Amino acid sequence: MDLDLEQLAQDLKSIVGEGHVHTDLFERINYADTSLPYDVGKEDLPDVVVQPANAQEISGILKYANEHEIPVTTYGSGTSLMFGTKPKHHGITLSTERLTSSDISEDHQWLECGAGLKTGILIKELGKLGYFLPIQTQIGSSMGGALTVNTLGHLTDNVFGGRPISNVLGLEVVLATGEIIETGSKCLRRPSGWDLARIFIGSEGILGIITKVRMVLIPMPQTVDAVGFFKTVEEIGGAIGLMYKNKLPLPMDGEFAGKKACKVGYEALGLDFPEGAMAITRSMGRTKEDATRDAQEMVKLFKEAGATESFILEDPEIAEKVWGVRENAMRWGQEKELKGYLAIEVNPALPRLAEAMTELSHITEGRDDLIGQTEAYLYGHVGSDSLHCLFAFPYDWTTERMKQVVNEIWNLEKELQLKYDGVGGDWGWLPYRVPFYREKYGETSYELIKKMKQLFDPNNILNRGNLEGEV
């Protein structure tokens, strides 16, 4: 790219209008910053941030970028928290934040929205009409971003028809080369056979930019929360296995926290609960009675699995606090003045869940690497077999030391996923997961994805560096 930056900004203004092209330093920093425990450098910044209003303007930008071979990094809302949105080769950062259209059609029984619409806003609007969004990510995340990763957020897999892809009726997509296509249908019968939506959902933005989404409406379920207190997290692992084997209705959402995480959470929220690990579930039904019946079964199950105490959370204020124990994760470590942090995700096969929990409970013990110098907090999901571990460390470590511990933690995650047959990926961290893909699925699969990328994006414009594993 040998284009003059002033000319670049000028040309982009001619496509999207004067007020939607930003070259200011702080705008460029904010659209590049990551939540890694070290700062971005000037070498990480985009040259320009552009905010198109619709698919036509995005098409214009991508055609222009292809003509001049300028990399384009797509930005939804940045809540994947990492570096998928950090430009690896400067260029244009294309934000979808202005694509905020929303149409909830009860006649058609679908919703249609712009990719930049925040899930929190959509959840609120759907709620007013008695519907539920089967994507429960951070409320500031964008619909386009969530579908690009195909993440459910905190919801249990296989409850609302599976992953979001199963509830998508159609997409509007701008291809990397600038053509605009539509996929799917406007009727409730989803396409069989070839459905191009399936190529773009979960492709982490390397093949095209999702600009509009159509999803089926799901009636708002009634919910009831149950909580169980256990001596160890391994007992919770056992309870989750039993839940499936006993063919219990799966909770729509569920969380657990290990002993250390619970202690910090209880203290912060003023909860007087027994020492040890804790699991909370949200059962759902068409009626409150249905949900209560399922929640009672969860209580029974927890007790069978060794819970010292288990009950239905009748008081919504207490329930909110109990969910808050897990939400409090971002403050773990602070009680020990540890402000740097990084979390991992491990998804063990069901029979090995308890074993993985045991290993993660003692993950920092006896290590002579930097991980051994961190404080680890175990938590995760009850419905989905998804475990997280948050590693906290001092924020005044040098940048080099921070980078070293980050690399050690990523490598640990890869090893654990391979060991326990996990996959994960809900946080949308394609760049650092490339080594995992290659080991898990082999070079043939990786090369196939690279060929698809070449086919859709011959100039490697979109999110350049992500598939190459550049972090």
Partner 1 sequence: MEEQFEEDIEKSLNEALISCEKCHFCNTVCPVVDTRLTQGPFGITRAIYYGLQWNEFGSSLRDLVYSCTTCGKCDLMCKKVSRALPLTEIIEKAREFLLIEKMAGPMPDQVSVLKNMHVRGNPWGNPSHERTNWAQSLDIPFASKDNKVDVLYFVGCASSYDPQAQKIARNLTKILKQAGLNFGILENETCSGHEARRMGETGLFAYLSEANMEMFKEAEINHIVTGDPHSFYSFTQEYPDKCNSIKIQHYSQFFNELVDEGKLKFTAKLKKTVTYHDPCYLGRHSQIFEEPRKLIQSIPGVSLVEIENNKQDSDCCGIGGGRMWMEPPKSLLSSQAIAERRIHQAFDTGAEILLTACPFCNITLNDAVKSLEKEDSLAVMDITELIAMSL
Q: Which residues bind partner 1 (CB under 8 A)?
A: 19, 22, 24-27, 29-31, 33-35, 39, 42, 51, 75, 77-79, 81, 95, 97-98, 100, 116, 118, 120, 138-140, 324, 327-328, 330-331, 334, 339, 341, 395
Smallest distance, partner 1 to C-beta of residue 315, A: 18
Smallest distance, partner 1 to C-beta of residue 216, A: 25
Q: What does the alpha-carbon distance between residue 99 and residue 289 come to, in Å, rounded to a whole number? A: 40
Strand partners, 21: 50
Q: What does the alpha-carbon distance between residue 282 and residue 136 come to, in Å, rounded to a whole number? A: 13
Smallest distance, partner 1 to C-beta of residue 102, A: 14
> Which lies closer to partner 1 via its Cβ, residue 110 or residue 341?
341
> Which lies closer to partner 1 via its Cβ, residue 77 or residue 183?
77
119: Cβ contacts below 8 Å, ≥ 6 apart: 133, 135, 136, 137, 138, 139, 140, 141, 142, 143, 146, 153
Smallest distance, partner 1 to C-beta of residue 322, A: 14
Smallest distance, partner 1 to C-beta of residue 277, A: 22
> Which lies closer to partner 1 via its Cβ, residue 128 or residue 247?
128
> Which lies closer to partner 1 via its Cβ, residue 50 or residue 168?
50
Q: What is the per-residue DSSP string for 95-118? A: E-TT---EEEETTTTEEEEETT-B
Q: Can you tell me whether residue 282 is helix, strand or coil?
A: strand
14: Cβ contacts below 8 Å, ≥ 6 apart: none
Smallest distance, partner 1 to C-beta of residue 48, A: 14
Q: Can you tell me whether residue 365 is helix, strand or coil?
A: coil
Query: Which has the closest alpha carbon to 113: 172, 198, 62?
Result: 172
> Which lies closer to partner 1 via its Cβ, residue 330 or residue 455?
330
Smallest distance, partner 1 to C-beta of residue 93, A: 10
> Which lies closer to partner 1 via its Cβ, residue 38 or residue 311?
38
Maximum C-alpha span of the chain: 69
> Which lies closer to partner 1 via its Cβ, residue 26 or residue 194?
26
Q: In this structure, which amino acid lies at residue 314? A: E
Listed as own residue / partner, the contacts of 266-269 with beta carbons closer than 8 Å and 24 or more positions apart are 266/325, 267/335, 268/328, 268/331, 269/321, 269/324, 269/325, 269/328
> Which lies closer to partner 1 via its Cβ, residue 321 or residue 464?
321
397: Cβ contacts below 8 Å, ≥ 6 apart: 37, 340, 405
Name the token pair of 285.
Answer: 């039904």
Kindly report the length of the chain. 471
> Which lies closer to partner 1 via its Cβ, residue 22 or residue 381?
22
Smallest distance, partner 1 to C-beta of residue 98, A: 5
With contact defined as beta carbons under 8 Å apart, do 190 and 251 qualify? no
> Which lies closer to partner 1 via its Cβ, residue 168 or residue 329?
329
Q: What does the alpha-carbon distance between residue 391 and residue 411 come to, in Å, rounded to a whole number? A: 13
Smallest distance, partner 1 to C-beta of residue 11, A: 19
284: Cβ contacts below 8 Å, ≥ 6 apart: 159, 221, 222, 223, 224, 251, 252, 290, 291, 294
Smallest distance, partner 1 to C-beta of residue 413, A: 19
> Which lies closer to partner 1 via its Cβ, residue 44 or residue 309?
44
Smallest distance, partner 1 to C-beta of residue 245, A: 34
> Which lies closer to partner 1 via its Cβ, residue 221 or residue 265?
265
Q: What is the per-residue DSSP string for 31-80? A: TT--SSSS---GGG--SEEE--SSHHHHHHHHHHHHHHT--EEEES-STT
Q: What does the alpha-carbon distance between residue 190 and residue 167 come to, in Å, rounded to a whole number? A: 9
DSSP state of 462: B
Smallest distance, partner 1 to C-beta of residue 78, A: 6
